[in-house]
Structure 1
Amino acid sequence: MTDSSYTPGHFRVCGRDFPQIKWWQLKNLRSAYFLLFFVILTSATNGYDGSMVNGLLSLEQFKTYMHNPSGSIKGLFSGIMFLGSLLALPITPYIADGLGRRWGICIGSIIMIFAVVLQSASVNFHMFIAARFFLGFGVAIAHGSAPLLITELCHPQHRAIFTTIYNTTWYIGSIIAAWLTFGTNHIGSQWSWRIPSIVQALPSILQISCVWFVPESPRWYISKGRPEEALKVLAYVHAEGDAEDEVVQLEFEEIKETIGIEKEAEQTGWLELFKTKGNRHRLLILLSAGLFSQWSGNGLVSYYITGVLDGIGITDPNVQLVINGVLNIWNCIVATTMCFFVEKVGRRKLFLISTAGMLGCFIVWTICSERYDATKVHANGNAVVAMIFLYYTAYNTAWSGLLVGYTVEILPFSIRAKGMCYMFAMVDIALFFNTYINPIALNHIGWKYYIVYCVWLAFELVFVYFFYIETRNTPLEEIAKHFDGEAALVGGAAATEKGRILEHDVHEKEITTTQVEEKV
């Protein structure tokens, strides 16, 4: 569902095409995007944690200190974090919508720093698990604000790339943790696992220090009755401070009118996503995206690569850590590269390519695992490692970045924060179940557990085909038209009229300039 009249090399606002800009040539836009790096760190923090747990479970020093935890305890190490996230979600949108996007990031970071201190000082696995609960609580609050600020602050031309990049930075944190634990594995004391835990506080410290230099969401300012501040932010970020810029004026009018319409309709509650056909369609996408992003087999490697590699005869901790580290570098390269194809290829097509690729790879992965189990031939085990890399290539084509990039843009402002909570809740439920069940299932039935994911991936492919729609080349406020049709609550009249006035003014100036030149 794209507008066939869209002109390549342009971006669209209020039905009008404008020539693309080069952000690196504009001082304010360049500065804003640099500062957004500190907002993106929220996702990197999450990635660091997942890889760190993987690494710690490969460290003999950690396993010995924690009295060689069983499969269920290993599951609890990871799963309790997602339970903490789940319990934080009901308050998350009230912080993001009430106090602002920046305060949400700051509050979440403060809680995470407290949790890291507790985790690093742990003297038993009970204390370690309690720390991870609070870590999940803080991550959820920061996660509930960071992508909203990115989506609502970015220039229309760059929104898709930046919101997609947000979730792919999970791998940056993951890479750092993977190689740090590889290095500390050579420390013959408790510091081998305490050092990676302490370093986990660094992103949160950076966020608390720098997030206040990032402009607040102009849409949030308008929702709080502060349009002058909203216009000032739009002008500063999108037009080098020129409040009379045509793009800025069109954006401002459309945002102001759309949020005004949403307020009048009073569509801001938790149940709004159940009330209309368009919102139910959004809810299906939100819940399925959260579920599919974690129940596609990726959880086996993201949190329990040691169990997968043990099952194919690769048991050396150093080798496991190297594979984990190299895999995360590869994932980061693929996921980041695909961010630049979101507008060119389209969301729906990328989701279909990604899911079909995962299904094919997982089937071969399962067959090779069965062959190794039956023959103990190392070539079959090596083939599994190759299929893991190919599987993640397919996964990162869409599910890594678009999990947040796609879901945040399909939601109207009035229910954006709450809608994202539905998605993150499904992520946490899936992860809590997966991280607790995966090690137990791998211990008891081995490769046969992979068959479940083969069947599930086939279902995912069918679901995506029928329910995921295309939104590329569509301004943020106007995406509602894809879901709600004529009933979409989109500000258009005021923005369109403003566009006519600006166009008329430009035309008059051109005539005046021509007349002056003719006289001269």
Structure 2
Amino acid sequence: MPETLIKPVNSANAYTNLIDPNRKWYNNRRLIALNGWIFLLLITSSASGYDGSMMNGLQSLPQWETYFNFPTKGKLGLLSSIQNIGALAGYPFAPYLCDGIGRRPTVFIGALMMVIATAIQTASQSVGMFIGARFLIGFGLTFAASAAPMLVAELSYPQYRAPLTSAYNSLWHSGSIVAAWATFGSFKINNTWAWRLPSVLQAVPSLVQVLLVFLVPESPRYLVKKGKEEQALRILAYYHADGDENDPLVRYEFEEIKAAMEFDRTVAANVGWKSLISTPGNLKRVRIIIAIAFFSQWSGNGLASYYLNKVLSDIGITNPTTQLLLNGILSIWSLLCALTASTTVERFGRRVLFLSSACLMTLFFTMQTVCFARFTISGDTNAANGVIAFIFLYSAAYNLAFSPLIVTYALEILPYNIRAKGFNVFNITISIALIFNQYVNPIALAALNWKYYVVYCVWLVCECVFLYFYLVETKNHTLEETAAIFDGATEKIADSAATNLGGAKNASGEEKGSSEFLEKA
């Protein structure tokens, strides 16, 4: 029986009835400010997307190829994968910074490293210097990309948490768009600035974060964990209830955070790395986040994301201008699909989107393989056009779930005490998968041509089977409720939060019982 049949208890969803229906992001000054700060954090993903697409575009620039002596196969794979090798080197330190000094300082450190590294990359005089700079970019990105999405999830107004967190990974494509069109625009520069200019632009998102990130409020959950409960309550009240610390939603959020952390401390014992495998609930979490991390990179998407020029060359499209143009259009298409899907995550749920995405990817990638094989065997130009069409359809299918949902889902199923460490495992898995893909794909494509696509066709079927049997539905729950589903603790945490609400006071100084706070729930 699929594990998706696990159901949360009835106390879940209580918060949804405490939300003021008249408080919307567009008509409330403090929610507008909060979402502005969240957008500053979301552009971390743009910086990551810029890097991947920039490397794709640089491979189509004769100026870059000439300067670095026409890298191919293993050398080309290293140039693409070294950023993720740098990211892998940073992961052992990231959770300790996130939990130790806070989310905001960790984002600042990562962004500052990236600004310095992109300056070195722009000034590169040799392939070794270029590779070293890209290693440092990956190292810095690790810290920013570990802390920023957690801070987004932990700060967001409950009604908008899932769409905003889903927008995080979707905005990877926004950076990809800028990079694709930057390389397209710099193509006509007849010197090394054809590739140095896109490198300069890579620093812009990180520079903005360096200047502004300390204006972003810190995570209330981090503050509660550090014993700064009054400060955490003030932040929740200021942004979620116009400063009213006795607002029912704020009190519910605050008491639920405290109850969940108390449960982790006294019952679940979620401390240290060993905790990731110490309970059946945590084992389920780790199994799922590792799987979706691999699936997000091993679904055939790495071919078009990092080696589109090679794929296009193999179907007879060798003109650099055409390649850069298709790269730019594909990036825009991917962003539109991903952001559209981000708005539907609470409507359709995680399970429906993931399964639909995996099944459609399997269909479209298989058709892409058939067209590629037909062109290779017979030289049919219609088959080449079919490859391009199915690349776009496949992109839409991939962005239905794997762009918007992988970060959202990984963060929401992890309780606070292991969120940084669990998310670190998620990011490490993605980097390992990317390193393999970026290094192996150009070698395998050169050796096997269209036959290499068959490997991904088989793997995609395996993904569909796994998602059907193991993915747990989590829509319309707070972070604490969602994380507790895996431990069967939603009722305990909600009851504890409701009990603690019994002594809360309203704005007039009168005590409100927990039943009054939760009467609608």
Scaled by the length of structure 2, what TM-score is found? Answer: 0.93
Of 479, 497, 501, which aligns to 1:476? 479
Tell me the CA shift for residue 375 of structure 1.
1.2
Partner in structure 1 of residue 62 of structure 2: 60
Partner in structure 1 of residue 354 of structure 2: 351
C-alpha contact 1:312 1:369 (8 A) present in aligned 2 = yes
Partner in structure 2 of residue 432 of structure 1: 435
Corresponding letter in the other structure for 1:229? Q
Corresponding letter in the other structure for 2:242? E
Partner in structure 2 of residue 369 of structure 1: 372
- Distance of 1:281 and 1:4 partners within structure 2: 18
Q: Unaligned regions of 5+ residues in structure 1, if any? A: 511-520
Of 300, 310, 313, which aligns to 2:313? 310
Corresponding letter in the other structure for 1:222? V
- Distance of 1:236 and 1:333 partners within structure 2: 33
Alignment deviations for residues 383-426 of structure 1 (CA, whole Å, 9 cap, x no partner): 00000000010000000011101111100000000000111111
- Distance of 1:176 and 1:333 partners within structure 2: 14
- SS of 1:259 mapped into structure 2: helix
C-alpha contact 1:347 1:402 (8 A) present in aligned 2 = yes
- SS of 2:468 mapped into structure 1: helix
Partner in structure 2 of residue 247 of structure 1: 249
Answer yes or no: is 1:208 the counterpart of 2:210: yes
Corresponding letter in the other structure for 1:289? I
Q: Unaligned regions of 5+ residues in structure 2, if any? A: 1-5, 513-521
Partner in structure 2 of residue 398 of structure 1: 401
Of 234, 237, 261, which aligns to 2:236? 234
Partner in structure 2 of residue 116 of structure 1: 118
- Distance of 2:50 and 2:192 partners within structure 1: 19
Q: How many aligned positions are there?
A: 504
C-alpha contact 1:171 1:329 (8 A) present in aligned 2 = yes
Partner in structure 1 of residue 419 of structure 2: 416
Tell me the CA shift for residue 15 of structure 1.
8.0
- Distance of 1:98 and 1:275 partners within structure 2: 22
Answer yes or no: is 1:274 the counterpart of 2:274: no
- SS of 1:296 mapped into structure 2: coil
Change in CA separation of 1:207 and 1:489 when aligned onto 2, cut-off 3 Å: farther
Answer yes or no: is 1:330 the counterpart of 2:340: no
Alignment deviations for residues 294-330 of structure 1 (CA, whole Å, 9 cap, x no partner): 0000000100001110111011010000100000000
Of 15, 27, 30, which aligns to 1:28? 30
Change in CA separation of 1:149 and 1:225 when aligned onto 2, cut-off 3 Å: same
- Distance of 1:65 and 1:145 partners within structure 2: 36
Tell me the CA shift for residue 14 of structure 1.
5.3
Tell me the CA shift for residue 212 of structure 1.
1.2
- Distance of 2:313 and 2:250 partners within structure 1: 57
- SS of 1:158 mapped into structure 2: helix
Alignment deviations for residues 36-58 of structure 1 (CA, whole Å, 9 cap, x no partner): 11111110000000000000010
- Distance of 1:382 and 1:191 partners within structure 2: 33
Corresponding letter in the other structure for 1:172? S
- Distance of 2:505 and 2:345 partners within structure 1: 31
Of 227, 243, 248, which aligns to 1:225? 227
C-alpha contact 1:331 1:393 (8 A) present in aligned 2 = yes
C-alpha contact 2:247 2:506 (8 A) present in aligned 1 = no
Answer yes or no: is 1:182 the counterpart of 2:176: no
Partner in structure 2 of residue 515 of structure 1: none
- Distance of 1:2 and 1:206 partners within structure 2: 43
Partner in structure 1 of residue 3 of structure 2: none
- SS of 1:186 mapped into structure 2: coil
C-alpha contact 1:231 1:252 (8 A) present in aligned 2 = yes
- SS of 2:353 mapped into structure 1: helix
Deviates more, 1:13-22 or 1:337-346: 13-22
- SS of 2:217 mapped into structure 1: coil
C-alpha contact 1:256 1:491 (8 A) present in aligned 2 = no
Corresponding letter in the other structure for 1:149? L
Alignment deviations for residues 267-317 of structure 1 (CA, whole Å, 9 cap, x no partner): 221121111111110001110011000000000010000111011101101
Of 441, 445, 448, which aligns to 1:442? 445
Please list, as runs of the form range in 1=range in 2, the aligned pairs for 1:130-169 lying within 5 A after superposition: 130-169=132-171
Corresponding letter in the other structure for 2:381? H
- SS of 2:388 mapped into structure 1: helix
Partner in structure 2 of residue 518 of structure 1: none
- Distance of 2:298 and 2:310 partners within structure 1: 17
C-alpha contact 1:12 1:156 (8 A) present in aligned 2 = no
Partner in structure 1 of residue 516 of structure 2: none
Alpha carbon RMSD of aligned pairs, Å? 2.0
- Distance of 2:216 and 2:18 partners within structure 1: 28
Of 456, 460, 468, which aligns to 1:465? 468
C-alpha contact 2:146 2:420 (8 A) present in aligned 1 = yes
Corresponding letter in the other structure for 1:176? V
- Distance of 1:505 and 1:497 partners within structure 2: 20
Tell me the CA shift for residue 13 of structure 1.
3.9
Percent identity, please: 44
- Distance of 1:480 and 1:434 partners within structure 2: 31
C-alpha contact 1:480 1:489 (8 A) present in aligned 2 = no
Tell me the CA shift for residue 22 of structure 1.
1.1
- Distance of 1:460 and 1:509 partners within structure 2: 52
Corresponding letter in the other structure for 1:420? F
Tell me the CA shift for residue 25 of structure 1.
1.1
C-alpha contact 1:55 1:321 (8 A) present in aligned 2 = yes
- SS of 2:297 mapped into structure 1: coil
- Distance of 2:227 and 2:277 partners within structure 1: 28
Change in CA separation of 1:155 and 1:163 when aligned onto 2, cut-off 3 Å: same
- SS of 1:399 mapped into structure 2: coil
Corresponding letter in the other structure for 2:153? T
- SS of 1:144 mapped into structure 2: helix
Change in CA separation of 1:254 and 1:370 when aligned onto 2, cut-off 3 Å: same
C-alpha contact 1:13 1:251 (8 A) present in aligned 2 = no
Scaled by the length of structure 1, what TM-score is found? Answer: 0.93
Corresponding letter in the other structure for 2:221? R
Partner in structure 2 of residue 172 of structure 1: 174
Partner in structure 1 of residue 488 of structure 2: 485
Corresponding letter in the other structure for 2:397? A
C-alpha contact 1:286 1:407 (8 A) present in aligned 2 = yes
- Distance of 1:159 and 1:255 partners within structure 2: 15
C-alpha contact 2:445 2:452 (8 A) present in aligned 1 = yes
Partner in structure 1 of residue 515 of structure 2: none
- Distance of 1:151 and 1:348 partners within structure 2: 20
Partner in structure 1 of residue 519 of structure 2: none
Change in CA separation of 1:489 and 1:91 when aligned onto 2, cut-off 3 Å: farther
C-alpha contact 1:261 1:489 (8 A) present in aligned 2 = no
